Structure 1
């Protein structure tokens, strides 16, 4: 007997002896004999003891102590299971004996007979429902006509029939079972049917939907018949083994055998994890095929993930088993009975199907490619990869939430617990913040890149188009110039904002970071005034729409095509290949040769005896022909036409023509006009005027009788005259240039 002093007030204290053993019956009997003051005093003493224990400082455990405790918790379940091996089978026999004795031989016979009747009723109900819903299935799609949507529709209808049949099986079995079986019998029949019949059949229906082992033409994942059948069989076996594990644990507890007495849960749980690892190891080739998918547009990262996935899954199975051992060693059996480790491995097994589904949906739901060419194709591939990345992040977050729910982890309130839980909560919040920022980053990039590709293909801009090699090529739209800078700015803002939010979610105070950033910005503003000038000037140039990427401009005597723009400078590519980098702050004046339209004037010199009206008609006919030519009509703004006689020179009559065209097309049109004018002149007997030197010598009317010496002297005199004219013109040109 253990004496306990209870304070009964200010007057007296009485000694109350607690019964030994302290059973519920003894406690009730003791309380019945005690007075109200004695009960009140005993309660106050107990509350004071609890308060004192809570107020006492708890000694913090060192790292070595924590590691030792966890190591002991890890190996103790296995060691205990080995120690219990000699009594494992005898205890199972005891559980069976208790089960038999609780019902008796006739009761067992009646139990199994009623279970057989209930299962038969369930199967009959399932067959009837499947027959009624058979017309929903529709005709099977031929292998050569199968598409994704037809295959998905057929498999979804078949899966719906399977699930509907299983639901009918469950309700009919439950209805008949409730009518025939007693509550004690239901405590055995319910888990038996659920874990050993219903769960494996549900797993088979899901596996049949995803893998379609007998219909390769309807299979949703990229895997051959051999591995599809192999995975289908073993997944059903895995669900059956896991169900048997849960059933036998509950069976032992219900029949008076505690988990600690046999440690059978250790052996069965280990068998499940080994089975998972063995499936992934033996089927690694098929699982790699499944992860790769059928899309030929794979990145190097996709190939690496597909090859590493089976080994990652084996590692997760091993880590999950280790976590189960630690929790079991620490006594968290109630948590483990909810099978969070099996839920984790279920989503792990479903990962290839989820990834394949994401890529399949993206491939079939992705908007068509905008335009043609390398720019459009690159934008299309980038869009597809962005959709896949976003889908993977969302699917990953969903899996994390499902796994956290299985382990009873409230990710929102996890930080309210201890230091370890607070660290875990901060880590989860960090991951969620980074994932959210990444999704927004990809969405912004996706929108801007798709808009940019649309603008580039609509404008017909071709990278490296320098206007026929002479400059003056057409530029892109205004959005084509502004969007790359907007994308860089938006991406930088998203990275900075969500980076700070992620750092703050770890419990780090970001106020000093913001203050430091402000001071750094102020220092940059004072120390890099030229940089600020360049940036501000660039902003106003872009606002004024002074130039666009692809346009041919002149800046202070430097000419070239705008090849690239940044926040502080622009790059001009000369048509001979030179690249000039010009800061915006150093641009006093900018001349744009590629905006809206361009007029080109062409000169043709014909002999003095040529009829100008005849030349005008030829020019007009060429202009009419080219404006109706499909190759050139869209490039003209005004057709080629004659401007009449421009001037007379010392060679002949200078005739001029002109046309108006879109920037960048004028050089191609000019070449074609030159070719056509040459052919028309030749067809009409018109020659181009050539520079000639005529020497008139008095008294040489009979030039045919000149000998070779006379001809040589005349040629020398003519050469001297030509040289004098050339020198005179050069001197005149030099004087004008001054």
Structure 2
């Protein structure tokens, strides 16, 4: 029956010979016709591209790692071609314009002559005006250099001295050029050089004046460094900015060509941005001192402003460096206008300044909370909240900055495709680690509070830190490892990694370790219960059966013990059968005193009480004795002496010191009163007896008491 069904289905689906022959004829006719053949090829290519796109989209569902790999591959194929193509195009255009200028050999002498005489005219007029100004200053007896705290007229004279000679020379050269000739290459180059030099001098003078406005307070050293070392940097920076702006002027584009001027403008702007970044790094500390070292009166009267300026002075260089980096990336990596890129970089730097100020104030507020915490929970939760505030500030900055540059984090995350996958993966990782951190804060603080409450409940305030030092690392490490493992597993799942084999492998490894290390597991479990029950802790004096000494350290499976001879013993927890701890709550100084036979017992008790009272009043011992002497009576008789038993409650592990001090004072008192210590006594009594017959009527001599028996 099954075979008949299979044959029926094959016959039903198999084409007939007529249909097959018609299909082959149609394919042959299509391939013979060139138009139809080309149309078929186009349809096949479209089908191939669609299939490849579907495959790529399906392959991008491998989590965050797959999305990042796909985005990197697209960046390698598409992202690096644009800047290379842009710069190669600009370089080719500039090369064509330069080759055109070089090919015209007849104009070289004229260009050189015009360049020389215009430059000479400009320099000559500038030097003449500067010389006349110097002579006038000497005649009037005015200061030549700018003082530390200049007046308004001094600043005006400084501007005139630095700028006016160059401005007069530039105006004279410009007027002469307009009268003689315009539009030639030599004259244009000379005027561009004069213009860039003038702008550099103006920019340097303005910056120096701005620096001089901050000359009060403890700022003289920083101001001197900026005047001596920073003037040249600022001059070159202003000249490069002016050159980049002048290179786009129509007066320079017409004689030199658009390719040369555009390439020159890009190079000048890149050099100016790079020089600005270097200047910020070199003079970061002097400018910070100018900002924060205000006069004392201003710092006292305006504390809020002072705090804000102090925060800004620490991070003022960061937004400028970001602005420089963004400008360079925009100018190098894209074909965007350098002016637009610079404007957007300035806006981005402003946003970063605001963000840094906000985060600085948040940090200050968090520091104040940490200095005066109401509780451990509140302090750590406040720290977590301030961290979230920092993170939110930077996320808002990233969103606003991307909007300035024509994009948006929200739009990237909401769009379908790679951006959405990356956004989900990053958001999942962030939420996972934040929740893990919050759980760790709650668990760690709960462990500390539980240990402290347990120590106080048992009346061991002195040893609370020792117990915490003993058990806290073990519990904290266990909880931390557990939280970290769970967080890592969830993070790997967000990254697109299949964690099922990892979990299975971890289970197998755990079983293997459990069966192969039973003694180790026994040590761990026994030690865990000993630590939880607080049977012993660091600095306790204990007797573990085989060894007695002070506990110096505890690990997860062993205890480190130092005995009275200074020998260190490492004992596994599984070998401990019992624990005698002498360091808990209090100690008992138990004394057994032998009373001499000639001393009355009441007198002996009185002497013992007096010694105990003296010992309790001793400055060195009174803090270790916690109770009065307790006379427990005559315990026994030994070798003709009564054994008096007394005891006192003492501080933990101080019972032996108290007993030694008591015995010392007792011996000294006996020596003062001439009382001998109780020595062993023996009395021998011989009874009279009869002897055997033959010796009747005879008697043995009787020995005196204490005489040795001759037998």
How does the TM-score come out when normalised to structure 2? Answer: 0.48
The structure number with the bigger radius of gyration is: 2
